[in-house]
Structure 1
Amino acid sequence: MNDPQPLSDQGQLAGILLNLQESMAPIYDAADGVRAELLSRGWSPGAAEQAAATWLCAAIKSMWNQKP
């Protein structure tokens, strides 16, 4: 049987995840904007979604590859 993590470790993990969520929110919002812009220019919903998803993946990859 596994012992549960100490409460302080869980609190640290929760803080890290909250910071990650806050860091990612602008990227998700921008991807939504990319999709909306493409739709407004007459792209099909499927094509706009695919292009926005590709942009989102590249943006996330770029974020993780940045050196502090």
Structure 2
Amino acid sequence: MFGPQTPPTPAGLKEQVSLAMLDMVGALEPIYDAADGMRRDLESRGWSPTMAEHCAGMWLMTTLQSIAGGGKA
């Protein structure tokens, strides 16, 4: 952190990106679970599987876009 900085190596960058992606998978898991639950709930209420999948997919897409944008609407 202090002193001269050396540029990261390709192997070091690969490790950092891999770890960040694994962290993101864990952080997003509850959101994916919520979308799956939403789809199952809509189907149990009599919605067609196609419409339930579409609605849950739209919710998931919007939620992921909100997360990617830092919560900005």
- State whether TM-score is above 0.5: yes
Which of the pair is proportionally richer in helix?
Answer: 1
Q: Which residue in 1 is equivalent to 2:45?
A: 41
Could you tell me which runs of 5 or more consecutive residues in structure 2 were left unpaired when the two chains were aligned: 1-8
Q: Deviations over 1:19-63 (max 9, x none)?
A: 111111111100001001100100000000000000001111111
Q: Summarize the alignment of residues 46-61 of structure 1 with structure 2, pairs less than 5 Å apart.
A: 46-61=50-65
**2:15 partner letter:** G
Could you tell me which runs of 5 or more consecutive residues in structure 1 were left unpaired when the two chains were aligned: none
TM normalised by structure 2 equals 0.78
> Quick one: distance in 2 between partners of 1:13 and 1:65?
20
> Quick one: distance in 2 between partners of 1:6 and 1:63?
28
User: Could you tell me how far 1:66 is from its partner in structure 2?
Assistant: 2.1
Report 1 or 2 for greater relative contact order, CA contacts < 8 Å, sequence distance ≥ 6: 1
The alignment yields a C-alpha RMSD, in angstroms, of 1.4
The structure number with the bigger radius of gyration is: 2
* Number of corresponding residues: 63
Percent identical: 40
